[in-house]
Each structure stands twice: as C-alpha cells, then as structure tokens.
Amino acid sequence: MRLHIILIFFLLLEPINTLASEGISLGLNAGSDFNDMDYIGLDVGYKNDAILFSLGFNKNTRNEVDFVSGIYYDLYRNSEFSLYFGSGLEDKNAFLSYGINYKLSENIDFGLGMRTVFESRNENSQEGFLNTRFYFNQKKSEKVIEENIDSVKEVSSLDRVFYEDKRQSISYTVRKGDWLLKITKMFDVDLKEIIILNRDIINPDLIYPGQIILISK
C-alpha cells in the first residue's frame, strides 16, 4: 500500500527542463533490510538524459554476492535534487526502487531511497539504502537553451539597444558548479536577456568560474 501511494505521488509530479547529461558513472551503495541483513555494493552506470542504466554487484553480511542490474528514470529534477523510480534484477529476483538524489557538485550525487525485492510469490523484502554516484566525462546538452538561442537570433538590433540602454544590470561572478539556467533561476531572469547583455557568451553551455556576467535587474 505504501508503495502504491508513493507511485501515485510520483506520477503527479511535473518534471522541469534542466541540463540533460550523458556519461559514465560509478556508484557506491550501502543498504539494510532493517532486520538481519546489510549489504554494500558497487556498480557502473550509463546515464542518458533522465534514464540511468546500471550493472554491478552487492555483497551482504551473509557473504553472498548478488549481481544487480537496473534502469532508473528521473520523474522530477531541478538544479539541486531529483526524484526517481526504477526497477531491475538482483540475482534472479526482481525489485522496484524509488528515492531522491541530491547534487553535491556537478559530478557527484548523494542519494537515499527504498527498495522492494520480490524474493518469492508470497514474500518480499523491504530495504533502505544510501548511494553516492560519481560522474565522469559528462556531455551536457540543453534543449531549452537551444530553443532560446533560436529566439535570440530573432532579436533585432533595436531590441538589443533597448535591453542594453534601458535596463539596469548587475554583475555576477560565476562560481564552480554554476550553469546559465541555474543562474537565471537564481535571479529570476530570462536566458535570452543574459545572452543579449553578454556578447562574449558564444556557447551558453560553456561558462567558467570567475567569469563576470551582467544580469538585468
């Protein structure tokens, strides 16, 4: 019953367009069935946008090693955290999983969640777990940025003069882990305005720590 309620809650969530990523990751896992079995695990994952595929193993306190494969989907995400739901196989047993991942940095996520392992027709195991995932060689793309770039091309020179001469602006120094969409949400401004005010930004995906960006008030 608890799982059904959580699934309904997830289905009501409305996903937000954020930076999509593609790349390889390494996951470190630790969990417990809250009874007499704990486990630690390691997996390798491949993420493409909102979908993560993983393959690895868990070793429990009974000295049993189970191979684990899974597929996970981000139901909701923003610049700080994501909520996901997944399923897979542990040895020969199917499982369902759900949880939350917090973004510690651009390349590290920390997560916690619950997992239901269907060990037999009439019996299943409820487990809680923690997870730390390290991402390598991420390729980032942003559909929203591409759409806004197209709209920027339509802005005339008169529009540029209006934005630059009539709108007051403030300076913001880019910090590690920042990206343009994150900055627009911080200051509640349009991406198009930032690109217009900052002619040195040729590729919206490429900003760097220490860079000065003008932002409309």
pTM of the entire predicted model:
0.60
Percent of the chain with pLDDT over 90: 40
Instruction: Summarize pLDDT for 114-146 with one digit per residue, the tens.
Output: 999 998 767 788 999 999 999 987 776 544 444
Report the CATH fold assignment for 2-139.
Porin (2.40.160)
Token pair belonging to 180: 């343009």
pLDDT surpasses 70 at 18: no
| CATH code of the region 142-216 | 3.10.350.10
Residues 6+ apart with CB under 8 A from 70: 53, 54, 86, 87, 88, 89, 95, 97
Using CA atoms, how far residue 42 sits from 68, 80, 83, 174, in Å, is 9, 24, 21, 34
Domain boundaries, the chain: 2-139, 142-216
Round to whole Å and give the CA distance between 169 and 176.
22
